[in-house]
Amino acid sequence: MPVNFENNQIVSPGELLAEGDYLSGEGSFKEGNKVYSSILGLAVLKGKVVSVIPLQGPYYPKVGDIVIGKVLNSSPAGMRIDINSLYSAAIFPSTANETGRRGREKFIQFDVGENIIAKIISFDRTHDPILTVDEEGLGKLVGGRIIKIHPTRVPRVIGKKGSMIKLLKEELTDRIKIGQNGLIWFSTSNDVIEDILVAVLRKIEREAHTSGLTDRVKETIKKLKEEKLNVIRGKNT
């Protein structure tokens, strides 16, 4: 059964994507045995499901997503979090607890302006997203820097089977966390590495729809490291 696109190919609304025994996912629709794109975006095939990831538009929350956000207000009753979406999110004492030494739970309360990484555990059109930080790897993000990319580019920052994020951790910093809402937090050992990482992330965002990106990013990192080293050497001579 034919598929008329390659993964991450840009497609237009109404474009025929597949024909035969395929299912339509987000951003696509099916008429008869044909699947069409309903939006401008990147076509993706997973199993038998054909989806289109929008090239533009705000982050739309999904249950299970890991997101990075900033605390807007905080009280014993709960916290309101900016998650780079049309929707702000909430954390309640029941979703932000930790067990104390005596076995009693206490409410983890963050300060206004602090950055956190959390998981969406509930969301529908009747209420704003509800987050939890009560899992390993979640909670306050101390120091570091946050940059914003388009949420649809996040899968390319992670890479196939985690190849891209593995490269970034090995070559630049292992202190990096990616939110599916398009926010990326990282902390580097020095300003040179930080500049390289920002440049590389912007490259991934620009070229997300192209193939062979991981190899090109690897070469870019190597080139930028050499250029920065030459500059430092020049200043020291």
DSSP state string for 117-172: EEEEEEEETTEEEEEE--STT-EEE-S-EEEE--GGGHHHHH-GGGHHHHHHHHHT
Say yes or no: 224 and 160 in one domain.
yes
Contact (CB, 8 A) for 228 and 236: no
Q: For residue 162, tell me if it sits in a domain.
A: yes
Residue 165 shares a structural domain with residue 226: yes
Cβ(106)–Cβ(133) below 8 Å: no
Under 8 Å between Cβ of 89 and 70 = no
Point out the domain boundary residue: 106, 141, 176: 141
- Give the per-residue pLDDT at 234: 64
Q: Which residues of the chain have pLDDT under 50?
A: 100-104
Q: Look at residue 119 and tell me if it is in a domain.
A: yes
Instruction: Return the structure tokens found at 121.
Output: 């555990």
pTM of the model: 0.78
* Amino acid identity at 32: G
Per-residue model confidence (pLDDT) at position 103: 45
Which CATH number characterizes residue 218's domain?
3.30.1370.10
Phi, psi of 194, deg, nearest 5: -60, -45
Domain membership flag for residue 33: yes
Does one domain contain both 155 and 197? Answer: yes
83 and 104 in a single domain? The answer is yes
pLDDT for residue 101: 42
157 shares a domain with 132 = no
Q: How many domains does the chain fold into?
A: 3
For residue 61, is it within any domain?
A: no
Residue type for position 11:
V
**What is the span of the domain harbouring residue 225?**
145-234
Residues 133 and 156 in one domain: no
